[in-house]
Structure 1
């Protein structure tokens, strides 16, 4: 594990950002090539939303993985920002490509379809986290306040998983895997850090 940690320390964080944008570039290329199937808009929406959820789960996995001895904490900000990037694009694709910026229809859909409300809750939970992700924000707010605010990530992942489960008509192994991972990652937070009850877990 020490060897893996040493290797991780040698990886610049920009590598994570670069690797995280590759799926977007691949999606953009397939869009230009017309390789997105019979319903390209839905493919774009689903791909962006799935990537956002995957990066959010990866960012939440940093703490339990650290307990096992692998310290990847320096990459958590990058994973969280990549999650927000894809979820914001997912929302943009729905508003622009799907709804055509027809705001009356957008409002109607918000009330008719609970999974859209859950998706908006997830996005709004991530928005303040993205806005306060800098070192300046941590210093300005103080570590304790900043850490409490960033527990909104738990709300975001719950809303995101429920959004996905209500969206699809049939739950496949993929959806069940995301739901199970989210449940496990949240359950880990119930166990006190260092074995002491009552202490908050980041």
Structure 2
């Protein structure tokens, strides 16, 4: 079966290899920006593409559980790498905005307070910090059950990322709305079984 072949292949691929593959799109974008491959405004284009990569990786992380439950494809070993790569691209996205776009660091705080879409984006970054810091085996052992509770912040982060994209694209545009709808569907799938279990427990308690 195809699913068995995919799972067998996935087991043979070391998780660390995803980090190497994952940084290649960023290097390619940087090379294009330097060599005039990103159009008339390479800074804005680079900033946008890095942010979009981060959002795509966050969505990819949400897809892992539905793939396992519905299709039987087990890619859980890659989820940590996907999350850390998403954080990596968010940081690059932020650095391009701060250093190359604004250029004056004194404007950063003013823009965070003035522009709602930047406020939302920064909130997502702040919430990603504890997730990135605790994405290691030591933290999993140290925090125990609290680790799972902490990493549920991922759901909030990906929602904020989708809202940031919608707000960034002024007016009604299809692409960001599709991302937000996809995020909502994936979260509904993820949260749905948990809600059902709670209802069953309440019914038994009653």
With normalisation by structure 1, the TM-score equals: 0.91
Match of 2:157 in 1: 156
Match of 2:31 in 1: 29
What is the CA-CA distance between 1:63 and the residue it aligns to?
Answer: 1.1
User: 2:91 aligned with 1:88, yes or no?
Assistant: yes
Secondary structure of the residue aligned to 2:198 is: coil
Secondary structure of the residue aligned to 1:129 is: helix
Match of 1:78 in 2: 81
Match of 1:188 in 2: 189
Higher helix fraction (1 or 2):
2
Match of 2:102 in 1: 99
Distance 2:171 2:152 in 1: 30
Contact 1:132 1:138 in 2 (8 A): yes
Q: Which has the larger radius of gyration?
A: 2
1:9 corresponds to which of 2, 8, 11: 11
Contact 1:192 1:198 in 2 (8 A): no
Distance 1:59 1:47 in 2: 18
Distance 2:53 2:104 in 1: 23
Could you report, residue by residue, the CA deviation over 1:31-79 in whole angstroms, capped at 9, with x for unpaired residues? 2212211111111110110000000110111111111211100000010
Distance 1:178 1:140 in 2: 35
What is the CA-CA distance between 1:6 and the residue it aligns to?
Answer: 1.2
CA RMSD of aligned residues (A): 1.7
Instruction: Identify unmatched segments of 5+ residues in structure 1.
Output: none
The aligned runs of 1:63-142 (5 Å cut-off) are 63-68=65-70, 69-103=72-106, 105-142=107-144
